Amino acid sequence: MSTWLDHRFWPGYFANVFVPQVTALVDAIEQRVLPGFEHIDQEVDEAAHREYERLGQMPADDSYDMADAAEQAVEAGIDLYQTLRGVRQALLNVSAAALYHLFEQQLLVFYRRQGLHARRQNDDSNLNVEALRSELSTIGINFDGLSSWPTIVELRLLANAVKHAEGDSAAKLRKRRPQLYADPSIAKAGLNDLGIPQTIFMPLAGQDIYVTQDDLARYSSAIASFWKEFGEAVFAHGSGTGAA
């Protein structure tokens, strides 16, 4: 990477383009997607009632009474509740993964436009975050020195765990943020924590990893802080006033 950085352009671009992109994604999830799940209890009750009425209209059978129908209707409602709850959780999990990959793509936009010669801009071997970090370190800018970076690392581990289930990232995340593996329905029911699972299988089905809206807000805030800190480092380097 050239020792010269366009220090007047990039900080404003980070603030006016990258941060709003992240905010818009999280706002859409919170305000447009998740509200569709606000009335799950009502949907479950209505589904159970429909099932009870359907069963009640079936031909009479001496071996079958409406108590059995009521039980089946309740089971149908429980099945629907578990399905919708799983879909909602899956959307939160995949939203966290999308948030990280949006951030990663933003980093690589900066890298491609600022750090790579035109002949290298479409060389896949150059387009990765570690290559960017390595080149930035040669001019004295280190992501590890930014207060937001540990949370970004956590988000990267989470994104990998959501996509790939058990693996190295899942194991590291388990040590860093075990809360993400705790099923919130256990605490909501007033039960003791049954332990953190040592193997995860289907985060994309809303199982095993439990991202919350508060988590998304925390990650979004960390990304916004990163772009502010990184912008300040770029400005300081380019203006000759110091580096991160």
Q: How confident is the model at residue 216 (pLDDT cuts 50, 70, 90)?
A: very high
Q: How many residues does the chain have?
A: 244
Task: Give the pLDDT confidence score for residue 117 in this predicted structure.
Answer: 56
12 has pLDDT over 90: yes
pLDDT exceeds cutoff 70 at 55: yes
Question: Residue 58, exposed/middle/buried by CB under 10 A (0-12, 13-18, 19+)?
Answer: exposed
Beta strands in the chain (DSSP E): none
Among 141-145, 188-192, 219-223, whose mean pLDDT is lowest? Answer: 188-192
Q: Report the alpha-carbon distance of residue 181 to residue 176 in Å, rounded.
A: 11
Residue 149 has pLDDT above 90, yes or no: yes
Q: What is the pTM of this model?
A: 0.87
Q: Name residue, tokens 């570690």.
A: 130
| pLDDT at position 227 | 98
pLDDT value at 73 more than 60? yes
Structural contact between residues 126 and 159, judged by C-beta atoms closer than 8 angstroms: no
For the cut 60, the answer to whether the pLDDT of residue 119 exceeds it is no
Q: Are 234 and 5 in contact (CB under 8 A)?
A: yes
125 has pLDDT over 90: no
Q: Average pLDDT in the 158-175 region? A: 97
Predicted pLDDT at 176: 95
